[in-house]
Structure 1
Amino acid sequence: MHTDNGVAYTEEWVTQRAREGYERGRASFPLRAERAALLVIDMQDEFVRPGFSPYWVPAATRMAPRLRRLVDRCRAVGVPVIWTVFDDTHLGLDRPHALRHLPHGDTDWRRPGPARVWPELGPREDEVLIRKPSYGAFYDTPLDTVLRNLRRDTVIVTGTLTNYCCGTTARQAYERGYHVVFGADTTATDDESRQEPELAVLRKGFALVLDAEEIAARLTDPAG
């Protein structure tokens, strides 16, 4: 037991408080269409097109129709949709050097040509597509400038992989002062047992974690 200013905090109390934050914590900011942008992270052929590459994420393929519906609903209420792909940019010289030494940085497989969003989802011509060299969509990209020019202070993070590019983007957005909404069922990862632990961390410390229906409902509710 630790006592601070006469208040006793037991190990059981602090553990239970932490558990409640991970499992049921909710950020308190509103979600308004006129302040939000939808980020669709790396829903590209390598990760979504069945059998196309060794990096295929089957859960992302299954999730894609739900995400497409959310994209359409965001468009309908004037929420800009911004797409990213994890690509070979600047001859790879802008990519963090350490990536090549990590298990996820295996470069034995090469795509034929530039990365592209899976055509069944694909961006419209009037939507921004950002080619990024690393996990987070803010790292060495114009995303922050794009969002500020759009006058958006809230980002809705969707796509794949939950615990790599999506989670890193959420943390980077939080650090830059954005309100972050994270799609509980519009993100996916390559080992589905990793999904909820990542959502738990984001829920407690970085983002408002909502499913697609909750996001759509809040975007059409004047109170957010």
Structure 2
Amino acid sequence: MGIPSIQPYFMPRKEELPKNRMSWTPDPGRAVLLIHDMQQYFLDYYDIRASPVVELLENIRQVRERCRALGIPVVYTMQPSEQTAEERGLLLDFWGPGLTAQPHKHGIVHELSPAESDTVLTKWRYSAFQRTELLELMRRWRRDQLIICGVYAHIGCMLTAGEAFMNDVQPFFVADATSDFTRNWHEMAMTYVAQRCGVVVSTRDVLDALAEKSSGAATFDLEHLRSEVAGLLERPASDIQSGDSLLDLGLDSIRLMTLVERLRAANFDISFVELAERTTLDDWWEILSARMPHGRWTGAEEQAHGVRG
């Protein structure tokens, strides 16, 4: 009963990953990053000075920073430090009391501490979708891809990938940003995901795919801004008029921060406060059109602003 002591093993290299049945690629407009159960309790079973943990922490950090830069929502799961026997259910039979026995190890490891803009979900079962708001949040954000990092590969990470697939969410299992009890268990999880429910990728694959998507972003204009806001408000774009108060339409601080992150990812120099002080699309476009990144004007905007090629 309980988690075994985990001996060091080498992280899978890109050339060692299983062949995927699907050719899906991460898209910053569709993806959510899941950092799964990276709590001190679970990391303490490893030698933190050796593989795979050294690579695990660094690779998750790199993926997280790229996702934040692109405005991709970052979601953490954390198992609770206190659970009754009824709440723990069959996990008690398999793993014992878990975190309840060591509540002081409940927190996310300091190297990956969540930011205020990140979402932290309390997780009760193997899958991050069970008894959480993850699927509801993804549907609210209009996201249908899940980039999965964390521990343990063949338990929560693999089951989360399977449940994502069963909810028509494309899972991306980041092989060298997950870790497991042994290399054999890790390989089993990768093989299952690649052949049955998702795509297995390396950290470099994710970083490269997101870099390619960001460099080829579409021209940003007023209608693009309207569409972004409509998605956050879960309304048709036609419902949002340029002079409407977006606060009255339901734009709260969390949605506004998500928009700010997306604008920064599109190379706009804009702050949360600047948008929070204004309330309409017209107000926001007045600011943004004056700070349009080089090369992003539409033909109509060039004419309106006197820009010449």
- Counterpart position of 1:171: 162
Q: Are 1:204 and 2:195 counterparts?
A: yes
How far apart, in 2, do the equivalents of 1:94 and 1:215 lie? 36
Contact kept in structure 1, 2:81 and 2:102, CA below 8 Å: no
- Counterpart position of 2:73: 80
Match of 1:35 among 30, 36, 49: 30
Aligned partner letter, 1:179: Q
1:69 to partner: Cα distance: 1.2
How far apart, in 1, do the equivalents of 2:119 and 2:41 lie? 20
User: Structure 1 pair 112/24, CA: closer, same or farther in 2 (3 Å)?
Assistant: closer
- Counterpart position of 1:71: 64
1:34 to partner: Cα distance: 0.8
1:94 aligned counterpart, secondary structure: helix
Q: Are 1:132 and 2:127 counterparts?
A: no
How far apart, in 2, do the equivalents of 1:114 and 1:132 lie? 15
Match of 1:45 among 40, 65, 68: 40
For these two proteins, the number of residue pairs brought into alignment is: 195
Structure 1, unaligned runs of 5 or more: 1-21
How far apart, in 1, do the equivalents of 2:47 and 2:71 lie? 30
Identity of aligned residues (%): 26
The Cα offsets for residues 28-69 of structure 1, whole Å up to 9 and x where unpaired, read as: 333210110100001111122xxx4xx447555321112111
How far apart, in 1, do the equivalents of 2:76 and 2:191 lie? 25
User: Structure 1 pair 115/126, CA: closer, same or farther in 2 (3 Å)?
Assistant: same
- Counterpart position of 1:218: 209
- Counterpart position of 2:87: 94
1:126 aligned counterpart, secondary structure: coil
TM-score normalised according to structure 2 size? 0.58
Alignment root-mean-square deviation, CA: 2.3
User: Structure 1 pair 133/187, CA: closer, same or farther in 2 (3 Å)?
Assistant: same
Match of 2:20 among 19, 25, 34: 25
Bigger Cα Rg: 2
How far apart, in 2, do the equivalents of 1:26 and 1:33 lie? 22
TM-score normalised according to structure 1 size? 0.79
